[in-house]
Each structure stands twice: as structure tokens, then as C-alpha cells.
């Protein structure tokens, strides 16, 4: 197992180019199963999650070929309907092959994914949507057997207690593309990653209107064809790098992003007193070095275009150093605060009250050995480590590798003192596990 050793205190300076969005590429890869013709996807980030999704496609029977840097060709000739628990257990997002299999094969056998460290994460809305289309779904020993042979377009309201569902929308749109009749999805997720999926499906011959809005109309067609598509830039990676500039009082420009996907996040940086310059529709510069007074703020995570839950942990790391009291409320995953106990070990002053973190800014953080619990919590610990005095050792960084390509190398290029080491290289008295 690898660890990151961060010697904090360097202000980061320079430019970063954003890679393809993990949360767009996973459903886009699943969409390649909708046709027997080759699909080419470019700007696929080299992450453990994308590699894992490619593995699932191979398991379903697709031919998966690398065709250059960050580019893959998938040809899904003959498919098999069953996805084993072993695969879905390792990556929840593998559930997004369900919609494609249902559409193409009219049946699928896929396990219920179970919870994860950030919450219960049920898939009741995915199931409700498929049932509305007329699928019959049996649950036997944790395995869902879905029969879509009588499926027809229908009205589906996809809103739930926490808003819509992103992968649920992806599944339902994919299922509806090859289902006869018109499906209307209300309270569809409006995340940019869903817009990207719809755009690829349209290239494949799907009939979808309302893209980007909470109402999607999908008219089923008989067959979809191959296509070529470029994955949108990762807004969460972009936001994380901008926070690196802010927290280290540096000067970081992110290029190759879609700044309009970052609206609520950039607004909160501005409110917190961090000078933000939108240089173009694809470039943003954060001037941590010009901060006069940080200001405490309130953040509430919400479905897009609200503040994204996937940047909550990282922003909390910044607020830990902002004088005054900030309140961070999670409306998507009320328990997504696994980073907080680790930030406390670094000297932060944060109390959890129900779905909120009450963050009392401290003047400084100090490096410590900390444990990553999930992808975005890991990024928050890296951010804290960059600003802290002394050494921070982040363990279990395989979580980080799920969503950030070459993270430590890119941070080092901006001037951070960060290296990836084997756990054996870590002083034994600092290790939390053998």
C-alpha cells in the first residue's frame, strides 16, 4: 500500500490542466454496451475507477482496446446479462451498466450494491424508474433479476428525499433509449455528467430532448450506432486544484475546465474572500496570495447547480483555517464527514451537529499521520497537509487514486513537497496499520 508524505507550508504556483471527469466517464463507458458497433471515448482519465469500469465491460463480453493516451475503443458484440457481486461490491458506480443491459438485452442480473462509507446509498429510485417502464424485478439473495421484455415508455418522477439521483437518471435514460414509446423523466439529475451522457447517446442515434433540464423526454429507437465522444473535464478535480491555491496562499490557474460547471463553488470562494478570476470559459485563476481577509461562510450541498457534495470535504479543509465560524451542511449525504476526525488530529476545531459541521477557524494546522476514508475525504486531508506545518502522512491513498490522476505529481509541479512512498517507508511509530 502507498502513502503520501506531505511537507506543508509551500505556496503553490502555476497552471494545471484538468483531465476527463470520472463521474462522466463511468456512465459513458456503460453506454458503449448499447450498441454492437465500436464506440471511441477520448479524454478518459487514467484512474482505478475507469480501469475497473473497462474490466466490467470486458466481463459483460465487450472488446476493449486502448487506442492511444486516455482513449479507448469498445465494441460490445455479444453480451451476457449477469454482473457478479464481486465487481459491483468493489465499485458502486458499476450499477450504471444496469440501464444499458436492460435496454440492449431486455434482461439483466445485477447485485444490489449495498452502502459505503459516505452513506447508505440505496438504489430504490433506479428500481422504481425501471418498474415504471414495465420491467419486472425480482430480488433473490441480493441479486436483482430484471426482465424488460414488456417494457414501454412511461412517466417517471425520479425525485427522492435528497433530490434526484445521478446514476439513477443515467440508468433510466439509457434504459429508455431502446424501449418503445416515449419516456418522460421528471426531477432528472441536472449534473453536467448527465448532460454529457445524453449528448453521447444522441450521437449514437438516441432521441432525447430537455438535455440539461430536470425534464428529459426520451423516445425509444430500435437500434443505436457507434460514435466518438470526448469526456467533459472534471469539475471536482478543477475545484480541488483551485482550493490548493487558496489554502496555501498561492496562485493557481486551472485550464481545460468548463467554468460554468463551477458556478456555486467559485461563488463560495469569492464569498470566503479568495480572489477568483475567470480568465476564459475554460480557465480560472485563484489568487490565494492576494487574500486580505478570509471570511467565514455557510455552505449547503445541493444537487447541481448547487454546491457539489464532492467538493464539500475539500472546502471544509480550507474553512478550518478561516477565522470565525463557518457552517457546512450536507443535504446529499448527511453523514459525509469522515474527514472531520482526521482534520481534528491536525488541530482543526470542527464539531458535527446532525448534517452540519460547525467549523471554528484556527490560525494553523499541524502535520500528522492521517487515514483516508473515501475519495474526497482523502483530497481534503491532502489539502490540509499542504497548508499544515510539519509532515502529514496520508494513508490508504488508494481512495485518492480512484478519482485524481497523478495527483501528487501535479501538486509537486506546482511547488508542493509531496511524495508517494510505500507504507514500509513510513516511520513505524506513525503507522496506523501494519
Please identify, using beta-carbon distances, which residue of 303 and 361 lies nearer to ligand EPU. Answer: 303
Three cell numbers, residue 155: 412517466
What b-and-e string marks burial along 15-35, b requiring 16 or more CB atoms within 10 Å of the CB?
Answer: ebebbbbbbbbbbbbbbbbbb
Report the alpha-carbon angle 243-247-250, nearest 5. 90
Burial class (CB in 10 A: 0-12, 13-18, 19+), 150: exposed
Q: What is the number of H-type helices and E-type strands within the chain?
A: 14, 23
Peptide bond into 305 cis (omega under 30): yes
Does the active-site annotation cover 25?
no
Q: How far is the CB of 119 from ligand EPU (least distance, A)?
A: 5
Q: Do the Cβ atoms of 346 and 358 come closer than 8 Å?
A: no
Please identify, using beta-carbon distances, which residue of 114 and 415 lies nearer to ligand EPU. Answer: 114
Please identify, using beta-carbon distances, which residue of 370 and 380 lies nearer to ligand EPU. Answer: 380
- Residue for cell digits 496499520? 433
- Residues in contact with ligand EPU by the rule CB under 6 A: 23, 26, 93, 119-126, 160-162, 165-168, 189, 309-310, 332-333, 375-376, 403
Query: Per the residue annotation, which of 116, 190, 198, 227 is the catalytic one?
Result: 116
Q: How far is the CB of 234 from ligand EPU (least distance, A)?
A: 9
Angle between helices 97-105 and 22-31 (to 10 degrees): 10
Please identify, using beta-carbon distances, which residue of 251 and 310 lies nearer to ligand EPU. Answer: 310
Q: How far is the CB of 192 from ligand EPU (least distance, A)?
A: 11
The residues, ordered by sequence, that sit 6+ positions from 347 with a Cβ below 8 Å of its Cβ are 362, 364, 365, 366, 388
In 3D space, the residue among 27, 23, 25 whose CA is nearest the CA of residue 174 turns out to be 27
Q: How far is the CB of 146 from ligand EPU (least distance, A)?
A: 15
Q: How far is the CB of 171 from ligand EPU (least distance, A)?
A: 9
Please identify, using beta-carbon distances, which residue of 368 and 384 lies nearer to ligand EPU. Answer: 384
By 3-state DSSP, what share of the chain in percent is helix, strand and coil, each rounded to 5?
35, 25, 40
Catalytic residue IDs: 116
Amino acid at each position: 500500500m502507498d502513502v503520501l508524505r506531505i511537507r506543508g507550508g509551500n505556496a503553490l504556483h502555476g497552471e494545471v490542466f484538468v483531465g476527463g471527469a470520472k463521474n462522466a466517464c463511468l456512465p459513458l463507458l456503460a453506454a458503449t454496451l448499447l450498441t454492437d458497433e465500436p464506440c471511441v471515448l477520448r479524454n478518459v482519465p487514467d484512474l482505478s475507477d475507469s480501469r475497473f469500469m473497462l474490466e466490467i465491460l470486458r466481463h459483460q463480453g465487450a472488446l476493449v482496446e486502448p487506442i492511444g493516451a486516455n482513449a479507448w475503443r469498445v465494441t460490445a458484440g455479444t453480451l451476457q446479462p449477469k454482473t457478479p457481486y464481486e465487481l459491483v461490491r468493489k465499485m458502486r458506480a458499476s450499477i450504471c451498466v444496469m440501464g444499458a443491459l436492460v435496454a440492449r438485452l431486455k434482461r439483466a442480473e445485477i447485485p444490489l450494491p449495498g452502502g459505503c462509507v459516505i452513506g447508505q446509498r440505496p438504489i430504490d429510485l433506479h428500481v422504481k424508474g425501471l418498474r415504471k417502464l414495465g420491467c419486472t424485478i425480482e430480488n433473490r439473495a441480493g441479486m436483482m433479476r430484471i426482465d424488460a421484455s414488456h417494457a414501454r415508455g412511461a412517466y417517471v418522477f425520479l425525485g427522492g428525499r435528497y433530490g434526484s439521483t445521478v446514476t439513477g437518471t443515467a440508468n433510466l435514460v439509457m434504459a429508455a433509449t431502446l424501449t418503445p414509446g416515449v419516456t418522460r423523466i421528471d426531477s432528472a439529475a441536472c449534473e453536467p455528467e448527465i448532460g454529457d451522457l445524453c449528448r453521447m447517446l444522441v450521437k449514437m442515434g438516441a432521441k432525447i430532448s430537455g438535455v440539461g433540464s430536470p425534464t428529459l423526454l426520451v423516445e425509444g429507437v430500435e437500434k443505436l450506432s457507434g460514435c466518438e465522444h470526448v469526456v467533459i473535464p472534471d469539475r471536482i478535480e478543477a475545484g480541488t486544484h483551485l482550493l490548493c491555491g487558496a489554502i496555501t496562499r498561492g496562485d493557481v490557474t486551472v485550464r481545460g475546465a468548463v467554468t460554468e460547471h463551477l458556478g456555486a463553488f467559485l461563488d463560495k470562494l469569492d464569498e470566503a474572500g479568495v480572489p477568483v478570476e475567470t480568465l476564459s470559459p475554460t480557465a480560472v485563476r485563484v489568487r490565494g496570495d492576494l487574500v486580505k481577509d478570509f471570511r467565514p461562510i455557510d455552505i449547503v450541498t445541493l444537487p447541481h447547480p448547487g454546491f457539489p457534495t464532492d467538493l464539500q470535504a475539500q472546502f471544509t479543509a480550507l474553512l478550518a483555517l478561516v477565522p470565525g465560524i463557518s457552517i457546512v451542511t450536507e443535504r446529499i449525504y448527511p453523514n459525509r464527514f469522515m474527514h472531520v476526525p482526521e482534520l481534528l488530529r491536525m488541530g482543526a476545531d470542527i464539531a458535527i451537529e446532525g448534517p452540519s459541521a460547525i467549523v471554528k477557524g484556527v490560525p494553523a494546522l499541524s502535520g500528522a499521520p492521517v487515514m483516508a476514508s473515501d475519495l474526497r475525504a482523502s483530497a481534503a486531508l491532502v489539502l490540509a497537509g499542504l497548508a499544515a506545518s510539519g509532515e502529514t502522512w496520508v494513508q490508504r491513498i488508494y481512495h485518492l487514486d480512484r478519482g485524481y490522476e497523478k495527483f501528487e505529481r501535479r501538486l509537486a509541479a506546482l511547488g508542493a513537497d509531496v511524495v508517494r512512498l510505500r507504507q514500509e517507508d513510513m516511520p513505524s511509530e506513525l503507522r496506523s496499520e501494519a
